[in-house]
Structure 1
Amino acid sequence: MVLVDNLSAARRETRQFSIGLEGSMASSQGVGIKEMVRIASQLSQGSMTFELYPDAKLGNGPKMIEMVQQGELDIFLGGAGYFASLDGRINIFDIPYLFENVEQAYQIMDSELGREMLDVLDNNDLKGFSFWENGIRSFTNNVKPINHPDDFKGLKTRTMPGNQVHEALWQGVGIATLPLPSGAIYAAIQEGTINSQEHPVSVIYARKLYEVQNYLSLTRHMYGPLIQVMNHARFTSLEKQEQDILLSASLAGAVATRNFSNENEAMFLEEMKRAGLQVNEVDAKAFREVMKPAIEHEFIAKNGDEWLKKINAMLAGNGR
């Protein structure tokens, strides 16, 4: 983490920053944003203030990224998959079963390779701040428990807008897909537009999707992080000490999201079970064998295998 001193009184100047996010303030995203704001305010002695726009109030992920690029929004926090339209290699996180657990994902994101991944956004009028926790995704639906990949067939699920790899993953196992912002999922299920979705447990809980879904199958098929970015020109216009404050605060927010998700997942599951959600474990091997090879092959064909080789080498070094 970048260490910074408080801004001196002589150099203190009021700065206001706008932050857009798709998640609610009750989600891990909201918890992290609150911590980021607290740290930035503390280190700047109150000279940095923030205007927050949660719940996709400014539009979906691609729309808010565009707003940041154009200087209409200072900071955005959203799924890594949204940034794949800027550099397809970022779709690497959409390869199912790339990581066996969150610790492996943290190892990669906290490494020099993780910083390299964020830095590719510099070419797109963005400054990549940090990776935030979203968690390992699992699958919910209204029809039946998912025990085998064949059980996916005939369902209709939501995919991330603009994420072709995400669509290919689900279409490849026989699911019809519909791109929707995450904030529209609850209503779409209620209306019967879709009958399934996939998110980390903490998001399923925060968005109360268990109220409109009957089954949660713990497929744990994908670790999809969030990325926080800032308008590049606005960032470089700040003094070095102010830049360091924002970077430190962003990292503090990222850590807060990890702690929130990991410390509360078991409680979230129990509360959703008590609310009537049926939860089942699955044999990950069967899902990995069906889902991973095709998406991995498609990713390599479009984006090369440099990052994938680096990830596999790093994880192999730790006994993968």
Structure 2
Amino acid sequence: MKTKITVILCLCLFFILTPGCGERVVDKEQVSPDEKIVIKFSHVVAENTPKGLAAERYAALVKERTRGRVEVQVFPNSTLYKDGEEIQALQSGAVQMIAPATSKLAGEFPQWQIFDLPYVFMNEEKVHEAMNGYIGVKLYGGLRQNNIQSLAFWDSGFKLITNSRKPIIYPQDFNDLSFRVMINSKVLKKQFEKLGATPVEGSFDDLYRALETRAFDGEENTISNICTKNLYKVQPYLIVTNHGYMGYVVLTNAAYWNSLPPDIREVLESTMAEVTEWERQQALKMNKEGLEMVAQSGVTQVHYQTEDEKREWMEVLRPIYTEFSDVIGRDLISSIEELN
């Protein structure tokens, strides 16, 4: 009798402890599909750019710190959405994160063209100071009114100018040349018009092919983009002007963001802050190394703009500030002039 009772007790214990029998044993290292939060992060540049690397780093850290509860799926190189399509995709809920260049926000938010004003920032520190102060408050506030939440501000760096026709040193060297400009920014179009060139809107994913086929003569970009897209291989002339700053705004849908559990939001936000500092250091490093590589490649002729040449360019381009003061906002332009 005792043997029979012992067998019954052992069987009961077996069914209780065996997965699938009795109460389920929970493996805390695994997350069921129903519990997982998937965040689609779409951007248009290559994986090995500062933005591309930062997006991948963010995804890996979030997965680790949430133990797989949150999966950030990164889609680089316009594999999901191209320039001009991302914001609509974000607002519709098709993606949960994007990181467009500031210029591309100008279609719906013209104030963001402040970053396109020529020679408006002296260095990255001034950019970050601006976004941490009054200018950032105004710009981010405009996004929030349209259900868009800003998560971070990433650097790409300062822009240089390349072309396939001839060396450019003085403003008159732009005559009869055509240049690709980012979509949505009237300031960038006006910049090239003031210099005597013809601006042509074009998407980033088609840029190499357009330059290779001479759809237009040149473009402006950060050196990290010029290198990772191999643009310098079809652009034999480059001038280091640092005339314009390019930054990326990491954005999400505000309603979606607020719907996330508070503990998950806390991890996402703290990780984003950490990755942002890392991304900015990567941008500085990659731009420095990239310029050295292009200069030594023997493929592209590099000219470094002198202070006298810079003053001549600034004299030609300065009227843009007045022409766009009402569009961008006189308060923002005054604030940035005080900052500098």
Is this a same-fold pair by TM over 0.5? yes
Other-structure match for 2:270:
248
Where does structure 2 lack aligned partners over 5 or more consecutive residues? 1-27
SS, match of residue 326 in structure 2: helix
Cα root mean square deviation, aligned? 1.9
2: distance between equivalents of 1:241 and 1:298?
47
Q: Which runs of structure 2 are paired with 1:118-267 in the superposition (5 Å)? A: 118-267=140-289
Contact map agreement 1:23 1:55 (CA 8 A) in 2: yes
1: distance between equivalents of 2:276 and 2:326?
32
1: distance between equivalents of 2:93 and 2:159?
32
1: distance between equivalents of 2:269 and 2:119?
30
2: distance between equivalents of 1:160 and 1:247?
29
Q: How far did residue 247 of structure 1 move?
A: 2.3
Other-structure match for 2:14:
none
Contact map agreement 1:169 1:295 (CA 8 A) in 2: yes
The one-letter amino acid paired with 2:325 is I
Give per-residue Cα distances to partners, 1:175-196, cap 9 Å, x unaligned: 1122111111100011110110
Other-structure match for 2:4:
none
Other-structure match for 1:312:
337
The one-letter amino acid paired with 2:312 is A
Q: Does residue 1:78 correspond to 2:103, yes or no?
A: no
The one-letter amino acid paired with 2:87 is I
Q: Aligned residues, how many?
A: 305
2: distance between equivalents of 1:249 and 1:116?
25
Other-structure match for 1:288:
314
* Residues 112/304 of structure 1: CA separation in 2 closer, same or farther (3 Å cut): closer
2: distance between equivalents of 1:307 and 1:132?
20
2: distance between equivalents of 1:116 and 1:243?
24
Give per-residue Cα distances to partners, 1:107-136, cap 9 Å, x unaligned: 212335324422321122211111111110
Give per-residue Cα distances to partners, 1:188-231, cap 9 Å, x unaligned: 01111011000011111111111111011001111121111111
Of 277, 295, 301, the residue aligned with 2:326 is 301
Contact map agreement 2:157 2:287 (CA 8 A) in 1: no
* Residues 116/251 of structure 1: CA separation in 2 closer, same or farther (3 Å cut): farther
1: distance between equivalents of 2:129 and 2:62?
26
Superposition TM-score, scaled by structure 2 size:
0.85
Q: What's the % identity of the aligned pairs?
A: 23
Q: Which has the higher contact order (CA 8 A, sep 6+)?
A: 1
1: distance between equivalents of 2:311 and 2:270?
39
Deviating more after overlay: 258-267 vs 60-69: 258-267
SS, match of residue 60 in structure 2: helix
* Residues 116/45 of structure 1: CA separation in 2 closer, same or farther (3 Å cut): farther
The one-letter amino acid paired with 1:278 is Q
Q: How far did residue 240 of structure 1 move?
A: 2.1
Other-structure match for 2:130:
108
* Residues 113/153 of structure 1: CA separation in 2 closer, same or farther (3 Å cut): same
Contact map agreement 1:158 1:194 (CA 8 A) in 2: yes
Other-structure match for 2:302:
279
Give per-residue Cα distances to partners, 1:283-313, cap 9 Å, x unaligned: 322212211x222112212232112222233
Superposition TM-score, scaled by structure 1 size:
0.90
Q: How far did residue 91 of structure 1 move?
A: 0.9
1: distance between equivalents of 2:64 and 2:232?
37
Contact map agreement 1:139 1:216 (CA 8 A) in 2: yes
Which consecutive segments of 4 or more residues in structure 1 shift more than 3 A?
A: 110-113
Deviating more after overlay: 193-202 vs 168-177: 168-177
Other-structure match for 1:4:
none
1: distance between equivalents of 2:59 and 2:274?
10
* Residues 49/93 of structure 1: CA separation in 2 closer, same or farther (3 Å cut): same
SS, match of residue 140 in structure 1: strand
Other-structure match for 2:87:
65
Contact map agreement 1:109 1:115 (CA 8 A) in 2: yes
SS, match of residue 271 in structure 1: helix
Contact map agreement 1:20 1:64 (CA 8 A) in 2: yes
The one-letter amino acid paired with 2:41 is I
